[in-house]
């Protein structure tokens, strides 16, 4: 199977969303932040679609496909945010794009009459914990490549596709001497997978809503020089 990793295009968005929804169906964070009894897949699709459109313009959003099959479907997806140096204020472009994304999500709330099962209190708990964790861990003023999504379709997992997607950005980070950061809500097997790629555990982040706890494993990778 020959796999290529290319930038996400408009045409890839439905396939990319399908991979994300399938790969995260049993993810501990998703099961904590969404109420499965009221989860609305279409609402979630609309939200991910807005995120993909934003990502095409503002992130390193890539997909893995099989090269030997013309028009082959998406097998894996990754989304990384580029490093933002501490000394550099956010650009007007990026600020405007974030607002456009927020308005799209607001429109989705109106269109689907709610958040589609998203427990917003838990979402904001996670956001706050993430902000605190990054304030504690991120010490490099040049910023970090921040992994938002890595997902491989369940039937294609374990065949090297996730590795290809991640290593594409790691290579860039090594060339630029930039650190990378990610959060995984699955300890086994993800922590081990990322350790093999050079990430080290920095913090075990607890997101709590009463007795319902979700652990997130914050990992950092230093650039390799050779």
Q: Which positions lie near ligand COA, rule CB under 6 A? A: 23-24, 27, 150-152, 157-163, 182, 184, 186, 189-190, 192-193, 196
With beta carbons less than 8 A apart as the criterion, state whether 149 and 186 touch.
no
Strand, helix or coil for residue 120: helix
With beta carbons less than 8 A apart as the criterion, state whether 13 and 52 touch.
yes
With beta carbons less than 8 A apart as the criterion, state whether 48 and 17 touch.
yes
Residue 125 CB, nearest distance to ligand COA (Å)?
Answer: 19
Distance CA 17, CA 204 (A): 28
Distance CA 124, CA 138 (A): 20
Residue 176 CB, nearest distance to ligand COA (Å)?
Answer: 22
Choice between 48 and 108, CB closer to ligand COA:
48
Choice between 73 and 109, CB closer to ligand COA:
73
Choice between 141 and 158, CB closer to ligand COA:
158
Residue 86 CB, nearest distance to ligand COA (Å)?
Answer: 24
| Other residues' Cβ atoms within 10 Å of the Cβ of residue 117 | 16
Choice between 100 and 197, CB closer to ligand COA:
197
Residue 210 CB, nearest distance to ligand COA (Å)?
Answer: 25
């Amino acid at each position: 199977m020959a796999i290529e990793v290319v930038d996400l295009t408009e045409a890839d968005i439905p396939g990319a969303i399908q991979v994300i929804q399938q790969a995260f169906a049993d993810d501990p964070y998703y099961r904590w932040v969404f109420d499965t009894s009221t989860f609305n897949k279409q609402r979630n699709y609309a939200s991910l679609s807005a995120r993909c459109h934003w990502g095409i313009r503002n992130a390193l959003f890539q997909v893995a496909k099989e090269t030997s099959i013309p028009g082959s479907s998406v097998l894996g997806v990754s989304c990384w945010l580029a490093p933002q140096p501490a000394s550099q204020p956010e650009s007007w472009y990026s600020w405007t794009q974030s607002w456009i994304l927020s308005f799209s999500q607001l429109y989705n709330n109106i269109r689907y009459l709610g958040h589609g099962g998203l427990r917003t209190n838990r979402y904001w708990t996670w956001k706050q914990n993430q902000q605190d964790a990054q304030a504690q861990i991120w010490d490099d003023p040049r910023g970090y490549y921040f992994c938002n999504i890595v997902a491989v379709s369940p039937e294609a997992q374990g065949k090297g596709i996730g590795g290809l997607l991640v290593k594409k950005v790691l290579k860039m980070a090594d060339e630029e001497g930039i650190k990378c950061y990610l959060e995984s809500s699955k300890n086994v097997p993800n922590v081990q997978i990322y350790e093999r790629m050079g990430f080290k555990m920095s913090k075990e982040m607890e997101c709590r809503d009463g007795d319902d706890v979700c652990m997130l494993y914050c990992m950092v990778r230093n650039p390799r020089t050779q």
